[in-house]
Amino acid sequence: MDRHPDPGPTAGLLTDDLILEILSRLPARSLHRVKCVSVSWRDLIVDPANRNKLPQTLAGFLYMTVNSSGCGHHFASISGDGAAPFDPSLQPNKYMDMVQVDACNGLLLYCGCNEKLSPFNWAEDDFRFVVCNPLTGRWVELPPTLQAPENNRYSCTAGLAFDPAAHFNVLHFEQAFHKAYVTGVNIYSSWARAWTRRDSGMVEKVAPFFRGKCVFVSRIMYVMGSLMDMNNEYVLMGVDMEGKVWKTIRVPYGQRFATIGVSQGCLHYAAASVVDNDKRTVSQIALWCLKGRDSKELVLKHTANINKLMSMTGKKYMVDAVHPDCDTIFLISYGGDTLAAYDMRHQKVGCILNLEKSNTCRFLPYVPLFSKSLADADEQ
């Protein structure tokens, strides 16, 4: 039996360019499925010459290791061959040290410095933000951020917002010196090639979590934090790319056992139900999503018991990331030596990856971007 049946006479009337135009409008997960329609469609999809025209899916995770010599940069591939799409250690010679900050739609955000950087406290150093497309080797150094107002300081919370059809923004949050709540944000636009500062537009005082993860979806940048003077209630804080729209969304469970990510075009929140904080005993995980840009309510999608995963590996886990195209979450073991995938929809354990055993931190999901453009910014 032919595994790739003829899609019919209508498909024969379509040129390769027209088929590519149609396929480019599909989500990455659907694109993977239609490779089975015919041999010719499969060949079009896997042809390297067409990669910059078609949506890509998750290739793996960038992460760092920290030791006395500085930060090491690594890549954990989730593909079958285990190969990294680029060398994560290749960086401009201009900087003595670089720290991974964020990733968005194929671009990466780093901070670089001519002194040894701390991945946990880089905002206190004399650094510069750098944006790159690692597949093309194009790097852009951003101008220095604006000086923080008196009695404020810059946090270690910064995010990259990139729309492949437009340009990128970098948001760097500012905090009060002693209370740690957000007082404003510095926003860099690659279109304007300049920074602007906006005061916080929130009535609530929100303190972002230390080294908090930023997620960009529907023109809003989200970061996790807690409300000051409200029994430290956990929230998601959101701000638009102009710094004019601010909002907060209440979330369940505790911050140290939760993560956020963008999946299937929506903001997702994955959290673990903690049985014993002291022993870090986690058995049940829940996956929630935010339906729509203007919504302020998380909707529960799935719950799962991960006792099977823990019995397979003998390790304890915390949630770390969400797959961009399906309801799979990724969990990092305590100690940081393994990364495991868990399909929340089908309740199945996926791949389990071994990592470098040296103080691993800052896992960034990476989806390749084969376009040569770097959002009209100056190249280095």
Of the listed ranges 56-65, 229-238, 259-268, the least confidently predicted one is: 229-238
Report residue 8's pLDDT band, with 50, 70 and 90 as the boundaries. Answer: very low
pLDDT exceeds cutoff 90 at 15: no
49's CB contacts (< 8 A; 6+ apart) are: none
Task: Return the higher-pLDDT residue of 153 and 322.
Answer: 322
Report residue 240's pLDDT band, with 50, 70 and 90 as the boundaries. Answer: very high
What one-character-per-residue DSSP string does 271-296 give? EEEEEETTTTEEEEEEEEEE-STT--
Chain-centre distance for alpha carbon 53:
22
pLDDT exceeds cutoff 90 at 80: no
CA atoms of 38 and 5, how far apart (whole Å): 6
* Structure token digits, residue 315: 């390790």
Report residue 65's pLDDT band, with 50, 70 and 90 as the boundaries. Answer: confident
Question: Average pLDDT of 301-307?
Answer: 87
Instruction: Write out pLDDT tens, residues 146-193.
Output: 887 887 887 889 999 998 878 999 999 999 887 889 999 999 999 999
pLDDT score recorded for residue 105: 92
Mapping DSSP onto H, E and C, the string for 200-222 reads CCCCCCEEECCCCCEEEECCEEE
**Residues 365 and 126: beta-carbon distance below 8 Å:** no
What's the pTM value of the predicted model, to 2 decimals? 0.85
- Mean of the per-residue pLDDT values for the chain? 82
Q: CATH 2.40.128 in the chain: give the residue spans.
A: 86-250
Question: Average pLDDT of 327-339?
Answer: 88
pLDDT score recorded for residue 108: 95
pLDDT score recorded for residue 34: 72
pLDDT score recorded for residue 109: 95
pLDDT score recorded for residue 215: 96
Count other C-beta atoms under 10 Å from residue 290's C-beta: 25
pLDDT score recorded for residue 1: 42
Instruction: Write out pLDDT tens, residues 247-256.
Output: 999 998 655 5
Helix, strand or coil, per DSSP, at residue 40 = helix
pLDDT score recorded for residue 370: 77
Which CATH number is 86-250's, of 2.40.128, 1.10.3470, 2.40.160, 3.40.50? 2.40.128
pLDDT exceeds cutoff 60 at 291: yes
Question: Average pLDDT of 238-245?
Answer: 96
